[in-house]
Structure 1
Amino acid sequence: MNDSWHDLVDLPDPNDPNAVVKAFAANPAFRAAEWSELTCEDNPFRRPVRPDDLGWLDYGVPMRAENALKLSGLLGHRMLRNVYDLDQLLLPPQEDPAVTRDRDAYYSTRSRVLAQLARPVLERHLFTHLEQQRPEPGRPTLDALRARVLEQYDRRSAEPGAAFAAARAARGRREAGTFLLLQYGAFEPAAAAALATAALGEVTLAHPGLRTALLSHHQRWVQDADRYAALLAAAELRPAPAAYWQLSLNSSFARGNHLHHLALDRRRPAAFLGALLFHLLDTAATREPYAQTLQDTLGTRPGYFEELRTVTRQELGELVDTLLAPLCARYGPTVIEQAETGLADAARLAGQWDEDLAAQLTWADSIEQHQRTAERIQQHIDDQGLEIDLDTFVESWEVTSTTHVHDEHRLVVIESGQMHFWNNVTHKIELNAGDKLLIPLSRLHGSTVLSGECTYHQPIIPDAMFRQFS
């Protein structure tokens, strides 16, 4: 390997968190996307991050809870998923020079060193806010924890979430079902990988049955591989790692990354077990909503969810004892306290995912309405002579904007030229001179210039004005 990116010269100052993150994101495999890279089904190492945006984002401080769905969260979770996946063997369907270059850069010694420096920076930035949102701890007993787990199961079963309802209510049902599957594929394989990671190690002296219990649940995922591939095929998708990277929501990355984060935190193994209990109860509670929603949107009853082996309510209660009783006997109530934090944080991230996905589906299904709203907002600005902050871009043919979110509401106003705008794999939206579109904050999207040159503006819409017209 003679690529300069494979050596260890010019490493960043490890005490400068932003320098560390920028250096890791400079990996050529993470470069901004090109026009042909909306999906990368044949290259598991190609993972666009938008590294240029890191110049104005601060990863040296914890992210506040209200900013979790903003740009630093999206780019942070993209980079953190890359950190975790470095320890997995990723095999492309075939070799070609581009794949080989990205593979060598991705797995390089420099990449691995920078990943270890970046990991604690990213984890602190992305997950610290969860500490401030946990419920008051109860009595640290197995019985109390079991009651919380079953309460979460009952709640999830009764109220599976707004995202399923939003997908079923969409006019573009196939588009909505496809996007729902994209998000499932962004966190479910990652959860399985985290489970396998947690099962590694020597734990038999403290908990003889733990490794067997963890591996048995991972084995279910392995055995379901063919049905999972068939599930994706119903939406013309493939089970290729990072194939739909650009269309994975921030909140979808977060769910998988949280499990990885806890699986690798060897100081608090019970926190992972608490998060795993939530993942298992969530899988059981949402199996039928997934099946029904995908039948309604894709027109076929998915065999994957029909045959998915999940825990029953009784088995879930018994699993609390199987996973945690031996650890409690050895280490005391600290084990329960750790498990409760893992359970509460995983539940919080799942709720955020549901809200985020429902909002994304609703916005994507109403683009024409948001175009009309954009016209009304722009007319209001013009009529009132309002001074609005805006960014202006002049881009040439095939210049592509890697998918991203904005930290505020924005309009896209095309002055001249033409672009394609996208928020799904199913279709692209054509915007021409004079067209306008409203993009609410935290809505995932990207674009590609189609004309020789395209000039467009992005007025930043104050929240009060957004609420007035929306």
Structure 2
Amino acid sequence: MDMPVTEDFEPLMKRLGEIELYHDGEDWVEAESVWKRPLRPQAFPYTTFDSVTQSTLFNYSSLTMNRTLTALYEQDFLYLPAASDTIIQDLKAAYTTPLRTLANQLIAPLEEKVLGNLQHQVNVGGGWNKELFKCFLAEKLEPRGEAVHDSLSLIQSASDPQLMLKLLLMQHAVDFLPESSHMARFAKGDYGDAQSAVFRVLLDEFGYGKHATKHSTLFKATLKSIGMLDNSHAYWNFYLTSSLLNNNYFHKLTRSPECFFEYVGAITYAENSFGPYCGSVRNLLLQHFPDVDARYYTEHVHIDDFHGSMTLNEILLPLAERYGPSVYPEFVRGIEMSCLLQQIMEDDLCAQITWMNKRPLYRQLAMDIKHRVLENIENIPVAHLNEPKGELSVPHVHDGDEFCIVDEGLLRFCHGPDCFSDLSPGECVVIAKNRLHGALVLSEFCKYRILSIGDYRHYATYSL
């Protein structure tokens, strides 16, 4: 049964936006606080918060709601900094009863808005039996040689592969740093042999109690070896909508015991597909970062083959034998949702890589259409901004193409992590629809305009 969307949703979001943890930070990355989660609450009054559809997956409202969901889900994850003289006060500020109450009120309507339409797309009929399911499963899990990922091909051919690899690892970080913390929710309770198998997978992920071999420790070593920060959510501002969406799906399932069998389908597919992918990422990292510590990805080439077999043969199939045909549609639903979300992540990442890689082209495009855009300015929605030095615009997206032009001062335009264009008076850039970007004022003040042009092709004689 779908949870009805509360009529108090927007007032609740307003209350959430008043909490300092969710205010904009002072830098592109968060090197200090392990609890800071910028949500751009100043934009809440102008955000529709409509339910996400296939055509609005990467819109601003979707990004904001996915950010919010991840932040609220993690109210039951413990994060601690490496050191603090005020740790007790810090914890009491980051985790509060009023915030947990607010999270409980917001999570259900946010889940429905963010995931409802997508889950409704996965229609699984009845009539499943053991043989039909075995055929379906064999088709889904059949090895197809070396899988080709368009995003990895784009990284390989990019003008700066190292930059794009760092973008990729940022997307992994949303899940890999608190790795398997979702799954830990299903280690609780009492449900027989399958519970023990789930716990064994969890033990593997946690290095069998040895912190040095915990998978998140290995991932931190990968990050540090190529000069990246390793504290959880240091790169919060650069998580793509789809990375958050996939993470939120597993949060939702593991917070909902009634979705256990859907989770089993989803995690079985994920574990069986992740190992080969990790091998491809490892090879790419070693090619472009000779000194990288790639143990995380090397470990997962091996361990996910084992976990894939375990989730299939010790969890999914025994549960099917135990409970019969009624569980098959739930398994299928989880598998299909996992497939769908993987494709959405691939599409989103490919688009972001392309946007960043074409940074000079979008600047040149802006200069080429500048005259035609400004000539039509009376018919275009315009935001006039006058901001002081150091003013940071947290990375976000727009629902259509935008035209940014500086009138006075110096603006550092951010196309993505460590991917900037410094714009002086008269200089401009086209901001691609749905692509993550931000800005930072470098001069004492900066006056600039954002024009909502809808589709740049209305003004250009060519396409990028």
- TM (norm. structure 2) is 0.89
Question: Which residue does the alignment assign to 2:249?
Answer: 258
Q: Are 2:18 and 1:26 aligned?
A: yes
Q: Within the alignment, does 1:280 sit opposite 2:268 as a pair?
A: no
Which of 44, 48, 52 is equivalent to 2:42? 52
In the alignment, which residue of structure 2 is the partner of 1:212?
196
Deviation at 1:415, TM superposition (A): 1.0
In structure 1, C-alpha distance between the alignment counterparts of 2:380 and 2:453, rounded to whole Å: 7
Within 5 Å, give how 1:179-194 maps onto structure 2: 179-189=167-177, 192-194=180-182
Label 1:138 to 1:357 Cα distance change in 2 as closer, same or farther (>3 A): farther
* Whole-angstrom distance in 2 between the partners of 1:152 and 1:417: 55
- Report the residue type matching 1:233 in the other structure: K
Output the CA distance in 1 between the equivalents of 2:30 and 2:353. Answer: 22
- Cα distance, 1:414 vs. partner? 0.7
The residue type equivalent to 2:268 in the other structure is L
Shift of 1:386: 7.6
**Contact 2:411 2:422 survives alignment (8 Å):** yes
In structure 1, give the amino acid aligned to 2:462. Answer: F
Q: Which residue of 2 aligns with 1:446?
A: 438
Q: Does 1:174 align with 2:152?
A: no
Paired residues for 1:28-177 under 5 Å:
28-34=20-26, 37-59=27-49, 61-95=50-84, 103-134=91-122, 137=125, 139-154=127-142, 158-177=146-165
Aligned partners of 2:234, 2:393: CA distance in 1, in Å? Answer: 17
Q: Is the 8 A contact 2:179 2:205 kept in 1?
A: no
Give the match for residue 3 of structure 1. Answer: none
* Residue range with higher mean Cα deviation, 45-54 or 429-438: 429-438
1:214-253, aligned counterparts within 5 Å?
Answer: 214-223=198-207, 224-253=215-244
SS in 1 for 2:76: coil
Which amino acid letter does the alignment assign opposite residue 69 of structure 1? F
Is residue 160–residue 285 contact of structure 1 (8 Å, CA) maintained in 2? no
1: distance between equivalents of 2:21 and 2:374? 43
Show the counterpart of 2:210: none
Picking from 417, 421, 431, the partner of 2:409 is: 417
Shift of 1:427: 5.0
Quick one: structure 1 residues 315 and 255, their matched pair in 2 at CA, closer, same or farther if it must change by over 3 Å?
closer
Asked if the contact 1:177/1:298 (under 8 Å) is kept, the reply is: no
Letter in 1 for 2:445: E
Question: Is there any run of 5+ residues in structure 1 with no aligned partner, and where?
Answer: 1-12
Partner of 1:364: 356
1:318-467 alignment runs, 5 A limit: 319-382=311-374, 387-463=379-455, 464-465=457-458
Work out whether residues 124 and 329 of structure 2, in 8 Å CA contact, stay in contact via their aligned partners in 1: no
CA RMSD of superposed structures (Å): 2.6
SS at match of 1:363: helix
What letter matches 2:279 in structure 1? E
**Counterparts of 2:77 and 2:324, CA distance in 1:** 34
Q: Distance in 1 between matches of 2:89 and 2:24?
A: 15
Give the structure 2 partner of residue 5 of structure 1: none
Change (3 A) 1:74 1:142: farther
User: After alignment, is 188-197 or 240-249 more displaced?
Assistant: 188-197
Distance 1:385 1:436 in 2: 15
CA distance in 2, matches of 1:321, 1:138: 23
How far apart are 1:409 and its partner, in Å? 0.7
Residues in 2 aligned to 1:116 and 1:299: alpha-carbon distance in whole angstroms: 46
1:50 Cα deviation from its structure 2 partner = 0.4
Aligned residue pairs: how many? 449
How far apart are residue 229 of structure 1 and its match?
1.9
